[in-house]
Structures are given as structure tokens and as C-alpha cells.
Amino acid sequence: MVNKQLKLILVSTPIGCLGSGKGGGVELTIISLIKGLILLGHKIILIAPKGSKLPFESELLEIKLIDGIDQPSWQHQNKTDPVIIPSNSVLPKLWEAALDLANQADAVINFAYDWLPLWLTKTQGIKIFHLISMGAESLIMKEIISEISHLFPFQLAFHTKIQSKDYDLKTDPIIVGNGFDKKNYLYNKNENGPLGWAGRIAPEKGLEDAVRVANDLGEKLLVWGLIEDKEYASKTENIFKKEIIEWKGFIPTNKFQEQLGRCRALINTPKWNEAYGNVIVEAMACGVPVIAYDLGGPGELIEDGFNGFLVKPNDIEGMIKATKLVSKIKRKNCRDWFEKKATNKVFAERVENWLNKGLNKNLSAEF
């Protein structure tokens, strides 16, 4: 059965424009999902901060760019902090634009981990769906997400079960995972390359542990990502006297996957509850095994001994031992796992099912 074409409004992250790297993995999620939904025949209006760019065009895609000040991220605030909306913030402007167009669409999908769009779900007569991108980084966010779960449970979705457990939900969570365009990632059979690490350069990503692993093995560590915290980056770089980090920067996907694919392993060392783990999947798409702390999403992406190894959080010795064993992982396993579970087509189909479920629920009768 072919699902009917949906007209969807997607509201981007207010942390930064698409392509800047400020939005972290959410940027890649949005781009991948748009392409997947278009492949399924749906019409998309993307509302995003000014300066946003997509690496493709389509007659089914319209982009509206909104000027304004970037919204501060909750992951860099304390759990008890209040809601902050700066003067001239892009966040309310994005949602003014979305509400103006909402009567032309079947649904609105929110990608912001922020209080305002969740609150609007209670006050507006439109279906706003929320793909929650983080664990409970804030008490007030935890409260509003839990409230929406009780009022509109079919309008919330999460990347992983582990992430969803951070919240007090009324029903079993809807899990959509994530996914990326397999055409953008080339399978690389090379088993003898360097070690890699990728992510935002910030304390919660734990780069210093990967540096210690590389140092113990007497190797360089290739590091990709936006330097979000320059002081942290400098401190991490100077843990050892010799130069271990080879900074590769924040680069487009085509260049990133080419360089990443040459690695024999990706080291993933989160210090917080990762909602998913985009770079883990990107690595596996290239055939690169991943050695990760079993903290949050990585625990659901890595099948220990098949496409990588899971290590207890903060266990650097465990990381070193696992890295020495990485040749036991067949790189084809990594690519096969990606094609089965994490392409943008698979991701878009899960999201499509979620939307259809939410749109067909007579919530007013149930609650």
C-alpha cells in the first residue's frame, strides 16, 4: 500500500544555521530526513536560520530562511536553569513562520530541543511532532516533555530506548533511530589506517580519553569536529608533551567520509548520555569499526564483537584493550549493519509511520 503524500513543515534547530556545525548531529539528522522523506514523495517546507544550506535541491522542497540570534544550547546550561530566550532570538521567529504556514500542512516537525515549541503544542490547534534529540539535560525540559507525553503521546519520538528512559512517559516510547544517505558514504576495506575521533570539541564528548588511548598505543589521533570550547581543546591538546592530535576540522560530509573511511577504528568516548551517536553510524557506513563507551545511544548501535566493541564508561584501560583487538571485527559487518538499520530511507520510513500514527489518532477522544 502506498501512503498518501504529506505536506510537512520541518522547523530546524535554532542553535545555528544548517552547515555551520553548531547544531551538532541534529544538522545531519535534518538533512538526511528531508532527503529520505522526499524519496518517499512527501512535500517539505524547511524553516531554518538564515545562512542555512542544503547539499541538494528538489521540486518537493521549499526553504524559508529566518534571521535572528542563535539560541543557547541546553547542554551548556545547568539542569536547574530557567528558560532563556535572547533578545531578537531566532527561535520564536522560526515558530512565528511555522504557525503562519501550519494550515497549509498536514503536520509540523520540530527539531529544537527547546521549551517553546513543546509549550506551543498545548496551545495551538495543529499537530506539532517532536523528535527529541537529547536526554534530560534540564529539569524544565524534562517536565514539559513528560507533560506532552501525557497529553499527546503519539507526537513525541526518540532516537533510542536508552535516551527515552530519561523521561517520565505515559506510553511506550516511539523510537525512530536515525539514518543517512548511503550514497554519501563509500565502503573502505582498508584495515591498517590510523585511529579517529569525531564530534563537537566540548567536555561532554570526552576527547581527552581518546587522546590517552592513542598515546598509550604510540599513535596519532585524527580529530574531526567544530571546536566549540577552545579552552578545552587547548587543554586536551597539551595533556602530553608530544603532539598526538591531528586536527582535521569541521568539513563537509563528502570529505569527512573519505578521510574517516581510511581509519582502522573510530574511538567514541562520551561523558554524557548520548541520545544516538551519528558519528558511530557514519563510521560504520564506511566500514570502520567503532570502540565506544556504553553510555546512551552507542549501546544500541554497537553489537559487541560484530561491528565494534562496547567498553564501560571512563574505562580507558578497557578502551586500549579493545582497540588492540579491532582487527577481529570484519569491516563488511559494519557496512551491512548500516545498510540494514540506518540508511535515510529506513529512517524516513520510520518517521513516516510515526507521523501517520499520530495524524490518525483521535486524541481528543482518548484524553
pLDDT tens digits for 90-128?
999 999 999 999 999 999 999 999 999 999 999 998 899
Q: Match 578497557 to its residue by C-alpha cell.
A: 318
Tell me the C-alpha distance between 150 and 184, whole Å.
39
For residues 196-210, give the mean pLDDT. Answer: 95
Distances (CA, A) of 59 to 35, 38, 55: 12, 9, 14
C-alpha cell belonging to residue 219: 599513535
pLDDT reported for residue 112: 95
Q: Is the pLDDT of residue 70 over 90?
A: yes
* Strand-strand pairing, 43-49 and 7-11: parallel
Residue 30 backbone phi and psi in degrees, to 5: -60, -50
Kindly tell me the burial class for residue 142, based on how many C-beta atoms sit within 10 Å of its own C-beta (0-12, 13-18, 19 or more): middle
pLDDT reported for residue 361: 74
C-alpha cell belonging to residue 237: 591538546
Alpha helices by DSSP H, listed for the chain, are 25-39, 90-101, 115-123, 139-151, 161-164, 207-217, 230-237, 253-260, 278-285, 298-301, 316-324, 331-341, 344-359, 363-366
Task: For the full predicted model, state whether its pTM sits above 0.85.
Answer: yes
Q: Is 196 helix (H, G, I), strand (E, B) or coil?
A: strand
Task: List the domains of the chain with CATH numbers.
Answer: 7-180+344-366 (3.40.50.2000), 182-341 (3.40.50.2000)
* Mean pLDDT computed over every residue of the chain: 94
Q: Match 545547568 to its residue by C-alpha cell.
A: 78
For residues 324-352, give the mean pLDDT. Answer: 97
Predicted confidence band at 1 (pLDDT cuts at 50, 70, 90)?
Answer: very low
Tell me the C-alpha distance between 105 and 11, whole Å.
13
Contacts of 136 (CB under 8 A, 6+ apart): 142, 145, 166, 167
- Between CA 11 and CA 19, with CA 15 as vertex, the angle to 5 degrees is 80
Lowest mean pLDDT among 10-14, 153-157, 339-343, 359-363: 359-363
* Strand-strand pairing, 128-132 and 7-11: unpaired
pLDDT reported for residue 2: 55
- Between CA 62 and CA 71, with CA 66 as vertex, the angle to 5 degrees is 125
Tell me the C-alpha distance between 44 and 60, whole Å.
6
Which of 227, 185, 234, 179 minimizes the C-alpha distance to 211? 234
pLDDT tens digits for 229-267?
999 999 999 999 889 999 999 999 999 999 999 999 999
Tell me the C-alpha distance between 47 and 253, whole Å.
22
Number of Cβ within 10 Å of residue 328's Cβ equals: 10
Cβ-count burial 213-223 (b if 16+ within 10 Å, e if not): bbbeeeebbbb
